[in-house]
């Protein structure tokens, strides 16, 4: 991989879990709810991703990713050309700067920005050839940065990458069945499952390399980050209860079942049939237990209700679950709606999802790697008003309270990261939405200003 990928195009997320702070205050030393209410060693931080905040597609020999192509519509994307030392130096400097300021970097290796060269060469994650290239790239990261990076995340949100990139075609690489959207190629009923199958195998293969060659000396941990909504049955009927469970299976169990049991959920196998790839016995053993921790991204909750199967002519991941979801029941929203139409604010959902994970998946070590809410970017809004993000303060207060409750109920939660550190490029939404604690002034040279939420978070962490 000229992997300098290279390391830039794919060191996708120095999550830059900026502002990571470990809790070291004495247990029981608090009289009010704040950072010291949490167990010793509990980590608070913020998240960001390189593509969304760095840009610079052609700097340092990096080369375009599928998102550069998707949003504007090279290097060869492999290690055959050697390692890009300029990019390694960039991330070494960043990691060293974080550590020198008392911050722990949690590094995500892949956050959706696959080198376009690999997409062109063999179809990217549609091909199992990607597994070897991905593992080669991950090993470069372990070698170059593993002496200082103690938490690795192999993939961020494979569900999002597969469903939006290959079922609806609304994200890079923009593939779907011709009838499903404005796509030039794809198969919405097969490709999402193929791509996520290969991502699971790439994840497990990289974990094996890390554990066999690096973990013993570097003393780090490795996991994967998944995203899931919480789902509530639309009614008390058995069909709607089953629909809520299928919704969880098709979004969360798609990955957690293989990671903990070595195979896909029964509901997926029964409905998807031969469109769902099968693991060999060896692959099943490779994937099962291939994590030290699970990163979990939570944003919202939906009602789920049962719908009949599709007619069989137009199969798609988007309809395979035989469930529709909504944030409104009987005309009443589940919670306040954020700027994004899909994001209904429902803080109890994060606790419900954590308790579900504890019960169903053997209580793994979990980090909430993303949790956030967005507001519209209104260029004409005076800066003073733009910085007054009371909705975000309330959002994080209530979600942190719910994770606190989950910990007291036995969930093995070790950290919480706000999405996001600063306003950024929100994929298909561009600069329409603002998730950050830090305001980026797009009208004034990208000047940064702390929002009210950043000041609140600072006070919360320092009490």
Which tokens go with 412? 């093995």
Strand partners, 441: 447
Catalytic residue among 54, 119, 144, 370: 370
Catalytic residue among 157, 191, 375, 426: 157
What are the structure tokens assigned to 274, written together? 């031969």
Query: Rounded to whole angstroms, how far apart are CA atoms 84 and 331?
Result: 55
Whether the CB-CB separation of 118 and 147 falls below 8 Å is answered with no
Q: Where are the beta strands (DSSP E) in 293-400?
A: 293-297, 301-306, 323-326, 328-329, 332-333, 366-370, 375-376
Q: Is 59 a catalytic residue?
A: no
**Alpha carbons 22 and 35: distance in angstroms, whole number:** 10
Residue closest to 115 by CA, chosen among 46, 152, 65: 65
For the chain, how many residues are written?
A: 463
Instruction: Note whether 446 and 424 are within 8 A (CB).
Output: no
Query: What is d(CA 54, CA 46) in angstroms, rounded to the nearest whole number?
Result: 16
For residues 306, 311, 312, 317, the Cα torsion angle rounded to the nearest 10 degrees is: -40
Based on its alpha-carbon atoms, the radius of gyration of the chain, rounded to whole angstroms, reads 21
List the one residue out of 172, 174, 196, 170 whose CA is nearest residue 184: 174
d(CA 300, CA 298): 6
Residue at token pair 């404005």 = 182
97 is known as an active-site residue: no
258's tokens: 């293989």
Give CA–CA dist 424/59, Å, rounded. Answer: 19
What is the SS3 assignment for 419?
Answer: strand
Candidates 365, 178, 101, 141; CA nearest to 259 is 365
The encoded tokens of residue 379 equal 């260029």
Distance CA 51, CA 68 (A): 9
Q: Which residues are catalytic?
A: 157, 370
């Amino acid at each position: 991989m000229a992997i300098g990928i290279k390391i830039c195009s794919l060191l996708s997320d120095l999550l830059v879990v900026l502002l990571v702070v470990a809790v070291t205050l004495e247990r029981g030393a608090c009289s009010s709810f704040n950072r010291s209410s949490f167990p010793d060693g509990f980590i608070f931080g913020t998240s960001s991703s390189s593509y969304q905040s760095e840009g610079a597609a052609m700097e340092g020999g990096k080369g375009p990713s599928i998102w550069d192509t998707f949003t504007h519509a090279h290097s060869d994307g492999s290690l055959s050309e050697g390692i890009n030392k300029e990019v390694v130096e960039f991330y070494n400097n960043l990691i060293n700067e974080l550590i020198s300021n008392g911050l722990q970097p949690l590094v995500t290796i892949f956050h959706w920005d696959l080198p376009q060269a690999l997409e062109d060469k063999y179809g990217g994650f549609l091909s199992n050839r990607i597994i070897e290239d991905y593992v080669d790239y991950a090993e470069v990261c372990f070698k170059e940065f593993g002496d200082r990076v103690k938490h690795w995340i192999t993939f961020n949100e494979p569900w999002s990458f597969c469903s939006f990139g290959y079922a609806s075609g609304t994200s890079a690489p923009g593939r779907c069945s011709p009838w499903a959207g404005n796509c030039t190629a794809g198969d919405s009923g097969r490709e999402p499952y193929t791509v996520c199958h290969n991502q699971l195998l790439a994840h497990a293969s990289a974990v094996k390399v890390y554990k066999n060659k690096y973990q013993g000396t570097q003393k780090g941990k490795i996991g994967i980050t998944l995203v899931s909504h919480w789902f509530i049955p639309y009614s008390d009927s058995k069909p709607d209860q089953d629909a809520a469970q299928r919704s969880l299976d098709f979004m969360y169990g798609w990955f957690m079942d293989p990671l903990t049991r070595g195979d896909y959920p029964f509901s997926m196998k029964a409905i998807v049939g031969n469109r769902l790839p099968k693991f060999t016995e060896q692959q099943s053993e490779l994937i099962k237990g291939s994590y030290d921790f699970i990163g979990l991204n939570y944003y919202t909750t939906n009602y789920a209700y049962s719908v009949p199967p599709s007619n069989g002519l137009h199969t798609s991941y988007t309809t395979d679950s035989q469930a529709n979801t909504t944030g409104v029941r009987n005309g009443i929203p589940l919670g306040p709606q954020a700027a994004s139409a899909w994001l209904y604010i429902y803080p109890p959902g994060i606790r419900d999802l954590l308790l579900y994970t504890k019960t169903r998946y053997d209580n793994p070590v979990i980090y909430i790697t993303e949790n956030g809410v967005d507001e519209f970017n209104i260029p004409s809004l005076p800066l003073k008003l733009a910085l007054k993000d009371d909705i975000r303060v309330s959002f994080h207060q209530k979600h942190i309270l719910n994770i606190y409750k989950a910990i007291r109920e036995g969930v093995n939660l070790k950290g919480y990261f706000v999405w996001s550190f600063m306003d950024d490029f929100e994929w298909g939404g561009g600069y329409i939405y603002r998730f950050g604690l830090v305001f980026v002034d797009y009208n004034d040279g990208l000047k940064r200003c702390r929002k009210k939420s950043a000041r609140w978070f600072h006070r919360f962490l320092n009490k």
